[in-house]
Structure 1
Amino acid sequence: MNDPLLETLVDGRYQVRSRIARGGMSTVYLATDTRLDRDVALKVLYPHLAADRGFLDRFEREAKSAARLSHPHVVGVLDQGIEGSLAYLVMEYVPGRTLRDVLNERTVLTPRLALAMMDAVVDGLAAAHEAGLVHRDVKPENVLLAGSGAIKIADFGLARAVTTSTNTGTLVGTVAYLAPELVTGAGADARSDIYSAGIMLYEMLTGVQPFTGEVPIQVAFAHVHSTVPAPSALCPGLAQDLDELVQWCTAQDPEERPVDGSALLGELRHIRTSLTDEQLDFHAPGTTAPQLPGQTDATTVVRPPSGATEVLRRTEAVGRTEPNATEILQRADNATTVLSTAGHQEQDQDAGYDDEGDEDYVSPRAGRRQARRDFKARQKQSSRDAQRPEVSLRSGRPRRRGVLLALLLTLLVAAAAFAGWFFGAGPGALVAVPDVSNTSVEAAGARLGEEGLRYTTDEVYDEVVAAGLAIGTEPGAAEEIRRFQPVTLLVSRGPELFAVPNVIQRTQEDAGEQLTDAGLGVGTVTEEFSEDIPAGQVLAQVPAADAELRRGTPVDLTVSKGPAPVEVPAVAGLSQDEAVKRIEAAGLEAAVEPERVNSRDIAKGSVAVQSPEGGLLERGGTVTLTISDGPRMVQVPSYVGKQADTARKELEDLGFEVQVNEILGGFFGTVRAQDPSGGTAPEGAVITLTVV
């Protein structure tokens, strides 16, 4: 069947190229981020999860929390979104394989390899725990081994959202690594991740999970009521420190486990440096899987890698440089090859006698092989002796044996009956969460009590439901859960109110950012002149600061245009002092040019020219004044005895005004007299010519 998402563009950005995997709650695709041109892993939730509004809200919150976590051993969350009925999460794409693939290929890992893998996983968990995040689903499938050598743990931010919003299908999917407190509904914290990591370390060391069963509920029951055995019980010869590490991580009581990833990481690294090379490179010759009560034929032989019959000594100290995943696996492969080859060489060399033909002589290599076989035989015998009871039932008391067998069968039947009641009609029975939205807290509590559900209340803000009424529950209405699982009743506190910040005298851009950060919006923006507030800054806001508004309510702003412009007074012809006074009184500055100009019309010492001559000018602006030096003095030539027309023209060209007085009608047109005649006169002065 063709996947409809293939070759589609999600949210206008992510080009889906191929499907990578399918899980219990989503499908993972390889996609290309067309905006940044890079490969990403696109996790698309199943439609029944994407249709749950409550789940999507939690999913979004957990995704944002996970996106803030940046660590080399944690798969980064890059983006999250909802497009129509499609809810997705965008994560860092890690090409390679999972720890599950490695376990399927190798079955059992050496302590050196297992501890190196755990170091990276616990380092990532420690960073998450320090940031307040709990993974809740630590398992080999979520440990990614990149082709570049990086070891990363994936799916932070999803486990919490899913476990609070889905039915028990999620429990079944990860039940092999589930902490007891999650089964009983007591809640999870960092120590729950430590438990799962301990189960994973047990599986890497032994090749099997500590608890198995025909149905998942048997495994869950074993987590609650059984103790994880020491790995050496299955693989005799493992270091005691490894037993203690596994059993510390998987203690039934969370108080007896490491408090978080950082506490475990310190002990893990201490053990890695304190074990000998032989202990770190130990290979168990064969192991047997434990059986649950009532389980039959649950024995599995765990085989080490081919040829791994000796211990390969390491040549560098653990902890000096942390190898990546590729180096770790290549080192293990090389060890297997070298040891296998060495084994063949020993067989070839030990097959005959020495050169001298002494049939009683045994080569040193053959002696060492026989010593190893004797040592392994002693180990097996010691293991059998340790499992043999020191006091056995007497063969002559068959009646006592019969009573004990009957008692054992009675206990098994009682346990089966209790389990049937517990998960059928008791606290472990499945019930559907009732819909209690828009009801009082008392009515909602009574409705939950009728279904046998325990609940706690949590007050949250809501824009629609009135304060004091129930909004809903987590898990949501109609979801099926076990009666012992807790339910959170969400009670409305009414709409959340946000205090209006004071944005007076901030720039319009800064004010908008401050209002947005406060959960509000920018309303109408108007402009006004202001003598006090510089242009571009806020001079008024409505509502005022400290008022409380609902999320997104707009706040109106009034932005200053700076001081209002003023009318430039006309001061041409006024004395310099009077002109300066009038300009300053208008709110402007007067600037007097040092160079004066001659003027026929403006008296000396008065304003001859002003710039600008009028109009509007910004308050504080400058008006430039040029002062008159009076009219220019011009040399007056004498024109007595010359023709009047010539005299008149030349005097006017010099800038004088000419007045002609004619005697006898000026018949001859000759200048008889001139006033003034010679010397200098101001430009524009009147020269009188007497013409005959």
Structure 2
Amino acid sequence: METAFMNSTYDPLVGHVLDERYEILAKLARGGMATVYRARDLRLMRTIAVKIMRRDLGEDDDFAAKFDHEARAAATLNHPAVVGVFDQGTAQGQPYIVMEFVEGETLRRRISREAPLRPEKALELIEPVVAALACAHESGLVHRDIKPENVLISTRGQVKVADFGLARLMTSPQMTATGVLVGTASYLPPELVTHSRPDSRSDVYSAGVVLFEMLTGKKPHTGENNYQIAYAHVNVDIEKPSATLAEVGHSGWRIPDYVDALVEACTARDPDSRLFDGRVMLERVRQVRKELLATGGRDNPVLAAQLRPHPSVPGDLTQPIQPRPDARPRPLADGELQAAAGGGNGPVEARAWHPLSPGSPASPALTRNARQPIAPNPEDSGRQPRMHRTPVFPNLHISQNPVHRRRRGVLLLLLVLLVTAGAGVGSWWFTAGRFTTVPSVTQVSEAAARKAADVNNVGVDTVTAYSEDVAAGLVISTDPGGGTRILRGDTMTLVISLGPERFGMPKVVGSSLDEARAALESTNLAVGTVTETFSDDVAAGVVMSASQEPGTALKRDTPIDLTVSKGPEPIAIEAFVYRPATTAKTQLEKAGFTVKVTPENSDTVTKGLVISQTPASGTGRRGDTITLVESLGPVMVEIPDVKYKSTEEATRILESAGLVVEVENVTGFPLPSQLAVGTRPPPGTSVPDGSTVVLLVA
């Protein structure tokens, strides 16, 4: 069976296990006779479909017996275009069938979405349906309910016919559901309405109607109720699909005459003029498909003439209404009879009653006097009755006068007719009259849907839902679905479209990633791809940009891509210790750092070189400050002039200048004068602080 969308109303069977084997998982669809569920076979661990009959039908022993017999017969079918019947049983008094589960959609949904279909596509879809019917007919089975809802199209494009569990043997009597013909009025063949005897030609008719609907997008007959539709099937020919397309102004493609003829041959009201069975129809469908492929859709009058139905000898199914016969002559009353006999007590004459010819005078001699007397039966004279009974009503006299007897007969006939009519009306009311059909109101306004529901005597509840496909204010779906048979006055639920569901994009730029995520999820949007990038201007962890602008209307769960800052990009710090300070400053500034240079004397580092760097390694951010200490070289001291100073005083002066003094006697006199005569290096020379100076003494 098909996986279908349904209103998620509670179903008490969901979660139950039938016969300790079939676990009911979800409700798929509901029809006039049964509900279909998706289920799991706990023994074979596979997904299956279970159709459970209505409880009132299950309580009908005759129906249950026929249902069991016919389901067994349908299970014998083995064809790739037939939904297989695996098992059948009864649970809690309700018969059920276990069938193959087909993941996909029904032909009804395909028609609603794409019809009218091109002839090539319509024939491609109908061919496996007809092949399945040919298999059934060869096995002696009639489907009886061919309609788009019972044709499934799998996700792989395979076409299968469902509901063969309701098929019947051609040799068995017609099965009814509480007196109502099994089948759908829009696809009901005329003979099921007139004498309820389906055969293979009945399925051919229904398949022809399905082909008509695929070609035109419309059903051939419509009406306010099933009885009007059934009446049209009996009395009105289905028109050519090409004519229906022309009426609606369709100009995309044309339907060849032999395709029209195929539909006519399948939908002839007289079964004797119709294609005989599924095998014959399959041959005709393949013949037409071959002609379409060969000619590209051009007319072929010869083929069309071969395909068109030929009326049978008895004529049309529609019989003319015969004119009302002339009024029967009224018999004479008692007084008239006596007057005709001369007013005496003699025997009454017998009379043969004949209607008068139109215009002939009513001659008294002819009507009253021209009679032969009837002699009384001598055997009856003085004869006693055969039995003597005490009368129940001794004072009741029942006249045996012919006029009175005729009147009693008429009254009795009227009474019988009234009782029969009352019984018929009562039977109709309890089997059909108290039911109505849920109208198909999808894709129409709520007001139009309510009007259609009022016409069909159905109450209305409404719920709303968003839809990407149905405009706001129109009906998305109904529960129960259109065409379902329910009690008059019951309520259907309309799902009214609110249009596409949209949510405004919030402002997330400048927020942290967590704040942005919370804002998106609160508006039913999703976080998409998060990209992190360095930024000198945006702090780490802050959203820099989003894939949608604030205020944009978006679908639920639309992914929003975010770009989040990782902060400034780290820059490797190069060490410049003992390297020229000017070079260090240039390179560091080029890398993006701010460089601060501090001069400092150094006895060990050459002037102009970097004594130290802070920081000297690792990474930093653009604009970070790096401090360089540039060497000014050692502290220089100028050698003072100590000439003619005493050795002691000269030494004190030099040492106070930060120099180390070595005394050297430069005279040859045995008694030195102890006076300084100079220094080496000479006075005025700049030397590093702590340098050694030789003091020359004479």
Q: Give the TM interval when normalised to the shorter protein.
A: 0.3 to 0.5
Q: Give the TM-score normalised by structure 1.
A: 0.40
Structure having the higher Rg:
2
Higher helix share: 1
Q: Give the TM-score normalised by structure 2.
A: 0.40
